[in-house]
Structure 1
């Protein structure tokens, strides 16, 4: 009896080992990672360069992958870190600057930030109706004050998001997303959220999204880019990846960054790009996909429903 049971035991052991290996591969895959002509959107992409502070080595595990920040970014403080700014209102109809600082648990401005997707600070501006999206890489002064040069803002309530990773102190290596609201005075004309759609057009490119994300669960999302009905295969690296995908939730403008998993291989990106989508709340999300061809940055936007 014992001799006949040994092959079965060996088979069960091999099956368990195979299952563990497959699970490890799955977890590894999940962990990897300018102005537009579209109405209601402005897309800044100024380079981040401080005369007083040099970039720190990247804390990312792979090019094009940043650390997953917890929370929805709707608070100006987390774990002792605080986003501060004297700007509570900004002018409409003209370029303007938003100045801010990040203070640490000791109350002092943070000046040491890790590089994340080629930048030490990612800054986003979005209006309450999810129009006017801007993604900017601000500059930092010697005293820790950052300046984000914004394109023209329409009247209304805006939320300014900062995404960063301290490179020193108790929060070293932790990704944060903090935000503050500002008011742009003037008559506000709200734009209805475009209907849920699987594809959209931007600068002659067609962007199609495949996947059915569920709230609070990591889920693969595939983006396909075509032009004139033909697959696009000349995407260039932008922020160490072939596309940058940001999402905002309808109603409260909660923030989410969808992490790329497609590896960069020269200027040969596309047509299919993979993302690890983890959208925390059900409802409609406005997605903004940024990609680059021939040195030009394109921004496509569409509405995705999350169950």
Structure 2
């Protein structure tokens, strides 16, 4: 469907659109995600086609409505309900629709988030929709998260400082890079920053912004975040060490 026709349909039928099962819940924020592709898919290489809907302006967002943020217009995040599968992708706008290919070999219930910045007022947005993947490898069994502030991808190791975190208060944590073989990490920018951090609570129902800030040392970053509730949070840290993209899953516990 071309962009003009879709905008007409949206203007006429916005109430029906908001109740569609593949549409993001309004509490996700100002921008919702509406899948054009099916939300029940076969495992493997999947193409996700979707619309971004400004729930305030009641319009479909094109690439002209979104500013470049961290080198991309849209950042997409896909993870399963067990918080073991994770993909960070970058949808593009073509022929009146947003789309991206993502490899999902493992069965399970997934959530897809689209995050960006509105060109009109530079407001950050995020919207999500659920996916069901079948026909692939057995789904991961749900496990209760427990605090684990150290992790590795190959030879690259990261550690988050042991500073206590309190809900609804700003937290400042240190993120330290090292290597198992004791050589010095060679950390270079990834998407315009020295690291990219994606954080979700143990139920996976929200996306928490964590902003890495550089220090005088390339082996040390400061993470600034505010966690809305107590509980355990999965934190995926992505960075480039020695020209290789690394992804490390950590868990932090947030106190009342």
| TM interval, short-chain normalised | 0.7 to 0.9
How much has 1:195 moved relative to structure 2? Answer: 3.2
Q: 1:77 and 1:248, CA in 2 relative to 1: closer, same or farther beyond 3 A? A: closer
- What is the 5 A alignment of 1:143-158? 143=96, 145-158=97-110
For residues 233-244 of structure 1, the aligned pairs below 5 Å read 233-244=185-196
Q: For the residues of structure 1 that align with 2:224 and 2:29, how far apart are their CA atoms?
A: 24
Alignment map for 1:20-99 (pairs within 5 Å): 75=26, 78-79=29-30, 81-86=31-36, 87-92=38-43, 94-99=44-49
Higher RCO (CA < 8 A, seq sep 6+): 1
Matched, 1:202 2:149: no
Structure 1 residue 193: deviation in Å?
A: 4.3
Classify 1:189/1:235 alpha carbon distance in 2 versus 1 (closer, same or farther; 3 Å). closer
Q: Is 1:102 aligned to residue 52 of structure 2?
A: yes
User: Unmatched 5+ residue regions in structure 1?
Assistant: 1-72
Whether the aligned pair in 2 keeps the contact of 1:196 and 1:304 (CA below 8 Å) is yes
Q: 1:182 corresponds to which residue?
A: 131
Describe how 1:190-269 pairs up with structure 2 within 5 A. 190-193=141-144, 195-210=146-161, 211-228=163-180, 230=182, 232-262=184-214
Q: Name the CA shift for 1:221/1:130 in 2 (closer, same or farther; >3 Å).
A: same
Alpha carbons of 1:231 and 1:196: their partners in 2 closer, same or farther (altered >3 Å)? farther
The 8 Å contact of residues 75 and 180 in structure 1, kept in 2 or not, is answered as no
* Unpaired stretches in structure 2, ≥5 consecutive residues: 1-23
Residues 258 and 231 from structure 1, CA distance in 2 versus in 1: closer, same or farther, beyond 3 angstroms?
Answer: farther
Write the mapping of 1:266-281 to structure 2, written as runs, cut at 5 A.
270-281=218-229
- Return the offset for 1:179: 0.3
**Paired residues, number:** 225
Q: Deviations over 1:62-98 (max 9, x none)?
A: xxxxxxxxxxx9757634x331113311211x11111
SS of the equivalent of 1:261 reads strand
Structure (1 or 2) with the larger CA radius of gyration: 1
Question: Aligned in 2, Cα 1:261/1:233: closer, same or farther, shift over 3 Å?
Answer: same
**Aligned pair 1:117/2:70, yes or no?**
yes
3-state SS of 2:188 partner:
coil
CA distance in 2, matches of 1:306, 1:202: 24
TM-score normalised by L of structure 2: 0.80
CA distance in 2, matches of 1:74, 1:228: 43
Task: Specify the SS of the correspondent of 2:115.
Answer: strand
Q: Give deviations 1:127-162, integer Å, cap 9, x for gaps.
A: 11111110011221141x111211124211110001
